Amino acid sequence: MKKQNLEQELEIIRSAEPNKLLKVVMKKRLSPKGEKALIRRGLTDISLYYIKAYGLGVLSQIEVFKSNSPILIDALLERATPEILEIFLGHGEYNTVMKYLKRHDVPNYKERDLIWSKDEAEILRYMEHHRLSPFAKLDIIMRKKDALTLKLIAKNKLNTREKLAVMRFSGYDCVCLLIEVQTSRKEAKKLSQMKLIRFGSEKQIENFIRYNRFSAEVEEYFYQFGKFRSLVSYFKKYMIESGQDILLKRNERTEILGYLSKHWLCEESEKLLLKRGVHSEIKAYIKKHYFHDEQEVKFIKRGKHREIMLYISVHSLNDQAQIELLYRRNQEEIMYYISHYPLAECAVAILHKCGTDAAWDLWMQNPLGEDKIISTPQKKYTKPKTHQAPSHDFLRNSAAWQKLPAYT
């Protein structure tokens, strides 16, 4: 295909609306580069149609197996020729390949029974005289058998994926041998930084990141395996915007709770916190911090009563969040809130509709005179704030007040 035509094809694949793109692929087969671009765009339905209509070239098959899309992988494996299976074994995501191997008898994976056996001596003898397939090498590394991995490193040339598997799953001796015998100077520098991240002390890592920033590939490794405190220091020093999201996604419960109790999240990270919906995390956060306005409204709409009561015991609500609280018609929440804070003018009319007579009476007793209906000032996102309950003896001694539980 001419260069100009190829560029036009790639531009259509990358930017066309799905309906228009489908019409294009229904008319003709794409170039090899066009197929790769189609898979990378991630439009599963169109990619599935294309695979069933035309099949895929080798490079595009690799792209499918790397993407780990179950639907597209199944479509390719329906045409399970030896060549496609070999590509799958070489490039498929480990767990996906394992599931397929357990469901099917794959003729060209001859080492399966041997590698899956527990006879390490027999596997070592086999490795002395035979070259292993790509997936067999990866399989040995993933099983965390360091004696076998050491032999594998000494006797076989590993590809990039296999080296990264060693860096993730193998012991210190395996990592050192890999760096010594199977890397160029540039790659050795990268893998040595990964070794520091995984096996170095916290002090060693802190000393390194004080003067150095990791490359993009090493950073991804650091995000997964770095020590929590070192990650926090790294994100602060290099102003990494997605740092808080990365910490939440690591699922290190104790560390996350400690972080949430000390640090105020950006709005996007608050959104992720609410999406995760882990009660202990939200509780740790709201005890010390209030939400940004939009996330505060979403927090109230979630409707978790105990969390809402904890939140309003230490924080007031913005105008829209007050309205959402009143729309819930939970009288315990309403009574508690109006006993502690003034309502925005727009919320007072909602109180009249959604509150009980007792709630309205309690609001009218609020000793703010003519200024009792006021707008809640906008929150300033500089530091967390807490609110103290109004110290009015007659209000605290009223029957309505006595019914309110204490939330701490």
- Structural tokens at position 192: 């040595």
The answer as to whether 177 is a domain residue is no
CB-based burial label for 384 (10 Å; 0-12, 13-18, 19+):
middle
Instruction: Measure the CA–CA gap between 408 and 312, rounded to whole angstroms.
Output: 10
Instruction: Measure the CA–CA gap between 190 and 209, rounded to whole angstroms.
Output: 14
Q: Give residue 287's pLDDT.
A: 93
Q: Give residue 307's pLDDT.
A: 95
Entry pTM:
0.63
Q: Give residue 196's pLDDT.
A: 95
Tally Cβ neighbours within 10 Å of residue 101. Answer: 18
Secondary structure, 3-state, 302-325: HCCHHHHHHHHCCCCCCHHHHHHH
Instruction: Measure the CA–CA gap between 108 and 118, rounded to whole angstroms.
Output: 21
**Which residue in the block uniquely carries the two structure tokens 């490039």?**
91
Under 8 Å between Cβ of 137 and 162: yes
The answer as to whether 274 is a domain residue is no
Under 8 Å between Cβ of 385 and 315: yes
> Of 58, 91, 109, which residue constitutes the final position of a domain?
109
* Residue numbers of the domain that contains 25: 3-109
- Structural tokens at position 147: 């004696």
Please give the tally of structural domains in the chain.
2
Q: What DSSP state is assigned to residue 66?
A: H
The answer as to whether 260 is a domain residue is no
The answer as to whether 166 is a domain residue is no
> Of 55, 74, 109, which residue constitutes the final position of a domain?
109
* Span 36-70, pLDDT tens digits: 999 998 889 999 999 999 989 999 999 999 888 88
Q: Give residue 249's pLDDT.
A: 86
Instruction: Measure the CA–CA gap between 338 and 374, rounded to whole angstroms.
Output: 13
Instruction: Measure the CA–CA gap between 376 and 317, rounded to whole angstroms.
Output: 8
Instruction: Measure the CA–CA gap between 408 and 405, rounded to whole angstroms.
Output: 10
Q: Give residue 3's pLDDT.
A: 63
Under 8 Å between Cβ of 264 and 384: yes
The answer as to whether 67 is a domain residue is yes
pLDDT block averages, 10 residues each, the chain of length 408: 75 89 90 91 91 90 89 87 84 86 75 79 87 85 91 90 92 95 90 94 92 90 90 90 87 87 91 92 94 95 93 94 93 90 88 84 63 40 35 35 42
> Of 76, 109, 142, which residue constitutes the final position of a domain?
109
Q: Give residue 358's pLDDT.
A: 86
**Which residues contact residue 337 at a Cβ distance below 8 angstroms, ignoring those fewer than 6 apart?**
312, 317, 322, 325
Tally Cβ neighbours within 10 Å of residue 13. Answer: 24
The answer as to whether 95 is a domain residue is yes
The answer as to whether 53 is a domain residue is yes
Helices (DSSP H) in 156-226: which residue ranges?
160-169, 172-181, 185-199, 202-211, 216-225
Q: Give residue 2's pLDDT.
A: 63
The answer as to whether 78 is a domain residue is yes
